[in-house]
Amino acid sequence: GPNDSDRTYQLKNETKETFELFWGNPKGENGGGVSNKFSWADVDVFLLDDRWFRTPDNYKAGKSEMLGKQQLEWLLESLKSSTATFKLVVNGSQMLNDFASEWLEMFSKHKEEYDEFLKRLKTDNVPGVMFLTGDRHSTDLSMMKREGTYPLYDLTVSPLTAGAVGDRAKDEKNSYRVPNTYFGENNFAILEITGKRKERVLKIIVLNAEGKEVWTREIKASELK
């Protein structure tokens, strides 16, 4: 579909059918879009669809949504039932960034849904949640401190082959950005999970397009409880 599209796209059903022909993912868990979940050892990965239910940008006539009620319920319930050490939630748009911008797409622009998700996630006291996002043509790590519980991390990684933004977003006012994690050139990241079952450590390794290390960070499972 068109770039930055939403739920009004007329051919979204045909697009979904084509996606399912070429990708081996299970069909959507929630009856709409292509969201689903898979497990690898003691890691659960939740793949979200942030287009199927998304309202148009700056929608004022009703509730502004990115995930939609159906997908939001599925995600929260699935996170609650998961016993995985790490629960990696993968989404196209950033999940934590609070920088208000007309041209950026991010969860926080859908404030009611964003606030509801964070509130319910905290209420359910789900451990081990971390977000993996992209679509910014740059890379950074966000960390949201939360009163009475563990901090949330959002690792944004992009792009490997598309155009990068360079320093354009280096000084944007994302209040959750971890210092010295911004990188505006082509890059990719590797996640390594090591350690004993009850002492797991997730290591983020960001590399440039030539495979040279840009930065690393370790997050212990014990920090996400």
CATH number at residue 89: 3.60.21.70
Does residue 221 fall inside a structural domain? no
- The per-residue pLDDT for range 176-215, each reduced to its tens digit, is 999 999 999 999 999 999 999 999 999 999 999 999 999 9
Whether residue 105 lies inside any domain: the answer is: yes
DSSP letter for 107, please. G
Q: What is the pLDDT of residue 59?
A: 84
| The predicted structure's pLDDT at residue 31 | 67
Which candidate, 127, 168, 165, 170, places its Cα nearest to that of 146?
127
The count of structural domains within the chain is 1
Tell me if 86 is assigned to some domain: yes
- Mark out the alpha helices in the chain (DSSP H runs): 12-22, 68-81, 111-124
Domain span holding position 173: 12-186
In a domain, 199, yes or no: no
The ranges of the chain with pLDDT < 50 are: none
The answer as to whether 191 is a domain residue is: no
Residue 112: inside a domain, yes or no?
yes
Is residue 96 in some structural domain?
yes
- pLDDT given at position 92: 96
Instruction: Examine residue 92 and state whether it is found in any structural domain, yes or no.
Output: yes
